[in-house]
Amino acid sequence: MSHQPLSVAVIGAGMAGRSHAAGYRQAGTVFGEGLPPVRLAVVADANEALARDAARRYGFEKAVSNWEAVVADPTIDAVSIVVGNALHRPIAEALVAAGKHVLCEKPLAGSMDDARAMVALEADAEVVTAVGYTYRRSPAIAAIRDHVRRGELGKLSLFSGRYWCDYACDPRSPLTWRFKGGPGSGALGDIGAHVIDAAEYLCGPIVAVSGGALSTQIPERPLPLGAVVGHGTAPVSDEVGEVENEDTATFTARFGSGLAGSFSVSRTAFGMPNGLGFDVYGLGGRAAFDFHRPAEYLFDDAQPEARTRGVRQVIVGPQMPYFSGGYPMEAPGVGLGNQEAFTYQCRAFLDQVAGTPDPLPANASFADALHTMEVIQAVVRSSRSDGAPVEVGAVPPLEADAPAVPAPPA
């Protein structure tokens, strides 16, 4: 094991940025040996008070108010980019040019042009580049993937996925950067990217979409009078601005295998704080997952004894991926939280950087995340054509398909 520390930094100290910071703090405590010591170097955010608070909470050495300081620091090896989508490309380009490894939050970029440029950057980079799709690290979802890959559901016949949230239900919630940008940059880009990735993680690539429909339930929102962190609130003015992207989206998909899928995403689904879920059916079984009950999944297969055949609850435990070695208390039924997925994601990223023996499965690449954006773009195209079928990646991007999303003020 190398004793030379890996120095890490996080650019962005909001909701997801803090999750990355906490993940790096815990990365060395999970799974096998071989990871060098992790030096928690810097948290950067334009809101310096927010950066200082995150640095204090998670044990980072210092806070800075601009990302350029992270680029210029020769002691930093690996960096998470967790800021507004429009800033992903310039920050990634600067970090890679400085020889630093990059873990970027999803969606990959604020526009298709930026995303394609980041994939080209990745192809020529001599450093590790990765994208964070944390739900891949769920023990339950990874276990369902194992069922699918082992053929325990039989030939797949249907995937039905949803990501329903309620963070945008209040019409008085402020007009932040999340509500700016054109169609596809709202609920589809924010939470739809996760359920699309989960579907492809289980069932393979999506090659076409149809039936695309986008809608906005709250067309105007008040302008904030102060900084807004994550999905939080802030004092608002009497002045309102236009919401430029979708609150809700639905579509159907065709996978490369011929499998059919249906999807719905919404940020205005009352009573659903974080409702990622899916059902996957085969000719010989089915499985279902709901993130509101993250420590379990439902499973049903063709048991030979008809009297006991039926759906059963499977509790996550040490027999699942990620659980053994990933929990201090390796006992079934002790629960599961969102932060573990960020910890495993950070560990996988640092495994890639350090070349750790027996590493965790690698994170998604920039190219993987570009594909997700191409699926989203195809949904937007379908919605503009009364739901007509659109092949994924088959049409060149239009400027209006995925405009740059403004960076958040903090």
Task: From residue 339, give the alpha-carbon distance in Å to each of 59, 195, 304, 346.
Answer: 16, 18, 39, 11
The pLDDT of residue 403: 35
Q: Which two tokens stand for residue 233?
A: 């609130």
Q: How far is CA 331 from the centre of its chain?
A: 27
Partnered with residue 242 across adjacent β-strands are 220
Q: How many CB atoms lie within 10 A of CB 371?
A: 22
User: To 5 degrees, how large is the angle CA 21–CA 27–CA 31?
Assistant: 160
Helices (H) and strands (E) in the chain, counts: 10, 17
Task: From residue 182, give the alpha-carbon distance in Å to each of 133, 214, 345, 399, 403.
Answer: 23, 11, 30, 10, 6
Q: Which two tokens stand for residue 396?
A: 């060149």
The pLDDT of residue 143: 96
The pLDDT of residue 396: 52
The pLDDT of residue 2: 57
Series of mean pLDDT values for 10-residue runs along the chain (410 residues)? 85 95 96 94 96 97 98 98 94 98 95 95 96 94 96 96 96 90 93 97 97 98 81 83 97 97 98 96 97 94 76 90 85 81 97 94 96 97 96 61 38
Euclidean distance between CA atoms 8 and 4, whole angstroms: 13
The pLDDT of residue 107: 92
Predicted TM-score of the model (pTM)? 0.91
Torsion (CA) 71, 26, 21, 289 in degrees, nearest 10 = 120
CATH topology (fold) of 138-336? Dihydrodipicolinate Reductase; domain 2 (3.30.360)
CATH architecture of 6-135: 3-Layer(aba) Sandwich (3.40)
Among 82, 184, 16, residue whose Cα is nearest residue 407: 82
Q: What is the DSSP string of 255-287?
A: ETTS-EEEEEEES--TT-SSEEEEEEEETTEEE
User: Domain ranges in the chain?
Assistant: 6-135, 138-336
